[in-house]
Amino acid sequence: MITQPVIPCIWFEQDVEEIAEWYVSIFPDSFVDYTTRFSSSPAGETTIVTLSLAGQFFQLLGGGTAQERNPSISYMVSLPTTEEINALWERLSDGADILIPLDTYDFSQRYGWLQDRYGVSWQIMHDGGMDIQLVTPCLLFVKEAFGRAEAAMNDWISIFKDSYVLDGHTVRYTEEDGDELDGKINYARFVLSGREFVVMDSNENHTFSFNETQSLIAFCESQEEVDTYWEKLSAVPEAEECGWLKDRYGVSWQIIPWEMEEMMAVGSQEQIEQVVQACLPMKKLDIATLRKAY
């Protein structure tokens, strides 16, 4: 079972079991944990694969039409040697779009950014000898969210326990970068519920922004915790559905009780379908109702 309180979820239209196996074959120390299937959602047949890639848990959601995945949320992979970087880049770049070529840059002795064959973005980089997480979700604040990376980071830190900015891991733009960028977050690494995340601001003319194809799942110990996260995060009432919400920065979250996750992982097919049916009319999830349905 998942051991991390906040993890990314990526939505696909394709066969997520095949996609998960592809990622597991590429990343070291990776495995598929469990797979859940149900057919009682409006999208019809739905599959959720829970996997761990080099220590970072993910859920891959397959079901229904999804929006286009884009680099607003990417995954930084920090490796200690050039050989490891080159090998991972070679495997991930098969069928990929190269956003920034793999090369030596002022900020990293080896770095590249690509969007893989499935539309998921990866930043591959040398760790510079730093003791940092191997795979780290990175949120890029662009368009209407530009300039709000620091506020989002501080808000999330205030909401989730065991959260703080990592010392020595904040880089700001300066006046040399222009008035619009001056003082904004070029790169900041922080801890959210015990796991590292990165935020960045960009005023480039990007055509993408945050959407529901990539969300963050926050697992909760109790109904009180569900209620608290929901109250503090939800900022778009029309986006509230089946435990999903959207915050003031446009980032989508799923607020999920640990108990429900266990039901979906170990329950019989009948129990899983009953829990899904109970979930459908809800906005914020109610643990007692889900437990009764199970």
CB–CB of 107/219 below 8 Å? Answer: no
pLDDT in tens, 103-127: 999 989 999 999 999 999 999 999 9
CATH number at 211-294: 3.10.180.10
Q: What are phi and psi of 68, to 5 degrees?
A: -75, 130
Fold of 73-201: 3.30.720
Q: Where are the domains of the chain?
A: 4-8+14-66, 73-201, 211-294
Q: Answer yes or no: is pLDDT of 46 > 90.
A: yes
The answer to whether 4-8+14-66 and 211-294 have equal CATH topology is: no
Distances (CA, A) of 115 to 69, 70, 256: 9, 8, 29
pLDDT in tens, 274-288: 999 999 999 999 999
DSSP-based helix, strand, coil % in the chain, nearest 5: 25, 40, 35
CA distance 259 to 277: 16
pLDDT in tens, 58-72: 999 998 777 889 999
The secondary structure of 106-125 as a DSSP string is TTEEEEEEEE-TTS-EEEEE
What is the three-class DSSP state of 211? coil
Q: How many residues does the chain have?
A: 294
* Residue 107: CA count within 13 A, CB half-sphere: 11
pLDDT in tens, 2-40: 999 999 999 998 899 999 999 999 999 999 999 999 997
pTM of the model: 0.96
Q: Answer yes or no: is pLDDT of 43 > 90.
A: no
Domain 4-8+14-66 has CATH 3.30.720: yes
pLDDT in tens, 71-89: 999 999 999 999 999 999 9
CA distance 218 to 48: 16
- The residue among 256, 257, 255, 249 whose CA lies nearest residue 230 is 255
pLDDT in tens, 204-248: 999 999 999 999 999 999 999 999 999 999 999 999 999 999 999
